[in-house]
Amino acid sequence: AIPCDVTKDGDLDKAATFARSKFGKIDIVVANAGWSLKGNVENLRVNDYRRLWETNVFGVLSTIYATLDHLKKTKGRLVIISSVKSYVALSGDSPYSMSKFAMRALCESLSQELAPDGVSVTHICPGYVATEIRQLDNQGIWHSDWQDPISPRLLISAEQTAKQIVKAISRRQREQVITNYGKLIVLIKRHMPWLLSLLISKFKIKVASKPSPIKD
């Protein structure tokens, strides 16, 4: 392993060079960098969105630029970790959802652009995974005493998620939605978007209405 910050110039090129020298080739790239920032739009500022997009969007793009030539040589597999929230945005979650909607658009474009080179693009859309992402505040500070607000019944383990991702990669799938409720959400969004909007409104489904204090 090699430390890498996707927002720092040169880090990804060094990581790609290391991987190439270590394994002889690069035939699978998983762009997984991301974090979450909560709050209603009126309580946030443009710079808050910009900070998140530096990692969630431009960090993914930088990963692709650093490895694309290698993938073309090996007719490899590019995997972008997105979210079920690339299909549905909730109140208080616009920064994260916007970044994941962007990932879905990126995958659709790249799938067409890279097909002639034999490179597959897989869009991974997990539901709620049991990780520490929800213990980070809006400044990226981890709070060990914060409890995960998501019901355990909705959580899937990182290990189970990884197994489904590996299977999708091996099959060169265009998209893999993970969790049964995630698949249901995507199905309703595609075919009955009005119903999904009705359910969200009726049950007042949302995330944090206010962000943690943000320092300039």
Active site residues: 96
> What are the residue ranges of helices labelled H in the chain?
11-23, 46-56, 58-74, 94-114, 158-170, 180-191, 193-202
Measured distance between the N- and C-terminal CA atoms of the chain, rounded to whole angstroms = 33
Structure tokens given for 61: 């793009």
Exposed e or buried b for every residue in 182-200, given b needs 16+ CB within 10 A?
A: beebbebbeeeeeebeeee
Q: How far apart are CA 157 and CA 193, in angstroms?
A: 29
Q: How far apart are CA 192 and CA 185, in angstroms?
A: 10
